[in-house]
């Protein structure tokens, strides 16, 4: 599965009007989560609103917001590190348009009906990162995503050993 994003959103209006906001496709929810995290690195309030759109009926708790803030605090490159072409060597500058390649769950029988797990690779880690979505009213919403916020290799410009 692939999702193509022409440009990263600069504000909530742009975020909400993006073609990938069709949450009936689970891969779009994953791509839009990375866009929402990108907004979060620019403005925490704006990013929180964007993530809450993707959370459906279950908004982020204050703990969730703090968790995301702590993971992104000194890693503004993390949200774009999952797009094709982003590597530590090029300081996580993905190819444009932004293309996200998602991988199906190899063990879908291990997940309950109404949920879906997808995986995304990054050149900054040795294994793919999982995201779990939950379906409601024919849309797919964020359910479990901490793997997307796990640490990755530093970009070359920040790595004193590079």
The 10s digit of each residue's pLDDT in 2-23 is 999 999 999 999 999 999 999 9
Lateral strand order in the sheet of 98-104: 2-5, 98-104, 115-120, 129-136, 139-144
The pLDDT score that the predictor gives to residue 35 is: 98
For residue 119, the cross-strand partners are 103, 130
Task: Note whether 133 and 26 are within 8 A (CB).
Answer: yes
Q: What is the structure's pLDDT at 145?
A: 93
3-state secondary structure of 141: strand
This model's pTM is above 0.85:
yes
User: Low-confidence residues of the chain, pLDDT below 70?
Assistant: 109
Of the candidates 62, 60, 34, the one whose C-alpha atom is nearest the C-alpha of residue 18 is 34
Strand (E) positions, the chain?
2-5, 98-104, 115-120, 129-136, 139-144
Identify the pLDDT of residue 6: 96
> What percent of the chain is helix, strand and coil (3-state, nearest 5)?
40, 20, 40
């Amino acid at each position: 599965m692939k999702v193509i994003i022409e440009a990263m959103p600069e504000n909530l209006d742009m975020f909400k009007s993006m073609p990938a906001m069709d949450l009936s496709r689970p891969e779009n929810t994953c791509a839009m989560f990375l866009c929402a995290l990108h907004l979060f690195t620019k403005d925490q309030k704006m990013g929180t609103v964007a993530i809450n759109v993707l959370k459906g009926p279950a908004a982020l708790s204050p703990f969730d917001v703090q968790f995301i803030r702590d993971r992104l605090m000194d890693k503004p490159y993390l949200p774009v590190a999952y797009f094709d072409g982003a590597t530590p060597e090029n300081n996580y500058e993905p190819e444009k348009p932004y293309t996200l390649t998602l991988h199906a769950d190899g063990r879908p029988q291990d997940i309950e009906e109404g949920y879906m797990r997808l995986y995304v690779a990054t050149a900054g880690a040795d294994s793919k990162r999982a995201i779990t979505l939950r379906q409601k009213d024919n849309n797919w919403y964020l359910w479990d995503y901490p793997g997307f916020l796990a640490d990755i290799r530093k970009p070359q410009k920040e790595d004193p050993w590079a």
